[in-house]
Amino acid sequence: MHETDQTTDKSQGVLPPSRPWYQKVLFVFGIFYLLTFLLPRPFWLAAKDFAPEEVEHISITYFDRTVDETGSHSVVKEYTIDPQSESYQTLLDLLSSTWYRKQFANLAGGGNTRGYSISLNPHVSIYFTQPEGTYEISLFGKDMPMGPRRRRTDYSPLGGMEFQKEVVAFLAENGTLVQTYEP
């Protein structure tokens, strides 16, 4: 047996050769990458492309679905909030009151491509118009996508459904109703 081929441990026999340095580096990088999904982050880190001071207009689409003996009924309400109002600051405070965890659908990028499971009723989508485009936050229940249109990232708020219900109720109570319709 050659000393350069294998190392001998008297109690265990022959030890396998150690891994090359680049495999160790890739392993550490992989663990770090996975931790970015497991570790929750505050709203301002989750909403990295959102610039609250540059918001020019806020519109909210509120969806409510009820089922009774005559069937299923949907009502959509459009609201707006003035970005210069106290309600806007309260909305930002509410969104900042919990932390957010990325969902594994974002692991390889692209987020949820098959649609969302809407488990919150009523639920809302909030559209913040900024000079660079529209930033969207949707409160759907399990799924809470946020980001610029067509580049949203899926999050799960640690505040859960109760947090989302609180935000939806706040928007319905404090937004200015623009129109109501049945789709």
- Contact present, 121 and 74 (Cβ < 8 Å): no
Query: pTM for the whole thing?
Result: 0.77
Fold of 41-181: Dna Ligase; domain 1 (3.30.1490)
d(CA 183, CA 173): 22
Amino acid found at 167:
V
pLDDT by 10s per residue, the chain, length 183: 455 545 554 556 666 667 777 777 777 777 766 666 678 899 999 998 899 999 999 999 999 998 888 888 899 999 999 999 999 999 999 999 999 988 765 555 555 545 667 889 999 999 999 998 999 999 998 888 999 977 788 888 999 999 999 999 999 999 999 999 998
Positive or negative, the CA dihedral 147, 150, 156, 161 is positive
pLDDT, position 11: 56
Q: By three-state DSSP, how is residue 65 classified?
A: strand
d(CA 23, CA 153): 30
CB under 8 Å to 5, separation ≥6 — which residues?
none
Instruction: Tell whether omega for the bond before 145 is within 30 degrees of 0, i.e. cis.
Output: no
d(CA 68, CA 146): 32
Structure tokens at 131: 């000079």
CB-count exposure of residue 88 (10 Å: 0-12, 13-18, 19+): middle
3-state helix vs strand vs coil in the chain, percent to 5: 30, 35, 35
Q: How many residues does the chain have?
A: 183
